[in-house]
Structure 1
């Protein structure tokens, strides 16, 4: 597993760099084929290739992950793949290349891999715009989803996630000379300042809703009343009701200054993942590995999409470690075998049941309702 992880980490894969992602997809496909046999298909698109592999037979479970990372080309030169003192480090080692390696090796330990599909996407870190439809299609076909994102603190599985999204608020004012006739202008920066306070007030932390202005820009020169401003806002919601409330509130934003105009773009791109979506799969994981726990987290993943469809989804099955998106990102080497065994045990149980996941449970009902491709 360490050797395979090193090969993936050393093939840098920043989101939106299609050339780098193409090389990374080939590396992922080569790993899958060498360990599992069969053919891994590269699904080409404008965001970079996704990798899809099937063990054949009636689909029962989808292993879901991504090979893009948040780190730009050149990060590897500064932070090379290293294994020291029980930790593996390097760009993307925890989020989420380690999880991919563990999943592949877990499946490789099974004599029968029929019913299993693997989908490794190229754009998770930037919203999954090109992969969402494929993710949803395969999740509905399989009826159960195991997401190999990094574990929560202490190795906990992720049983719930907030919905998340980004809004852009564009303000249009009117330029004028800041010294000679400031009153002739419409100050987009002042309007944006009013709006930032309105927007920040939309948060409801007690309900799991955070609304956080994160980036603002305005103006051109120090002696010009700014004619334009932009405010970017990160939104996290714990329920569909809160998603609807926040999106409606953004749509209803109104300017404070006469003649100022505003335009709102964006929305909550990933719906909330309710803990109910993982309840049965978590119970199964706990029977296989007593002592493992689940927890709800604030970040989003592609599991949000599958859970919103009603497909049983269990997340955080990937690497044990920490520091996602940071320079101190690391993976705990000694935990890799146990996590691979957990994936193998879950797949064995899910594929071994007559009628698929739960027989007449949520996964089977999804397949009956939506059919298979």
Structure 2
């Protein structure tokens, strides 16, 4: 038997106000006068106080990225070309500042600067051949676990699937809970529920082990303090829950909710957080306790999910979603174990989607 040898983020700074240390961290990477850094910043921060605090030097490249839609392989390839056109040299670091989508873009661009061809070639598991450019993740929304994970999730020409690799993992993260102040309530909820669902899927899965369990249980406790108890330090707690939820699935796997959500996201364009919530709400057969608690959290925070979005869709649209969802082999293996292929039928998935 061989055991998973997975990579963690090697360096991290945690604490309120720690964003101010970014310039010092980048100073360690800048060795020569011509060395430059690429900053990929969510465009919601453009012309806002945080945008003005990004420590950009005269010869750096600052790109405000739009993540109104899910990140795509096309977007990654275009950003990579923009960096290559900017200089004949490679950047010394790629910094992602924003939510999970922006962090995934930063991870993907850092990989594509050192690996030939388009990013769609690398959607899958361990297809990346060359180490990435040094890259730093700074979340301004908490929940996805993108700061901790070995994947950069992208919508490609065929399906929504991550660039899953040890090289994807950030070299450095900065977790400053001051940065998540002012996130709209619905986004705060949907993104945080991604974390909560990571824990449910990990704890209920066939891949569960004591490593994954330790992180998932603590992360879930923190989620409850945030979304049920409304704790005074909920920003710090959610930031740690997000990181620990990401760590939990690093040594286990997500499950049915993420598989269904990938189908929704790829075909209908739903963002990952709300896509997970839409999927989770119909998965009581898989996760009865988790779904019941999730619904209590929705009531407490006045969250109303869209209803009947798939009920009257054409059969061919549902069939596309089913195909994407069915292709998530490791996720279904975590749900059912060996022989999952017999249980994950087109009919079963079609019924689930029609209920969303």
Q: TM-score under structure 1 normalisation?
A: 0.28
Structure number with higher relative contact order (C-alpha < 8 Å, ≥ 6 residues apart)? 1
Instruction: Looking at secondary structure, tell me which structure has more helix per residue.
Output: 2
Q: TM-score under structure 2 normalisation?
A: 0.29
Instruction: Looking at secondary structure, tell me which structure has more strand per residue.
Output: 1
Q: For the pair shown, which has the larger CA radius of gyration, 1 or 2? A: 1
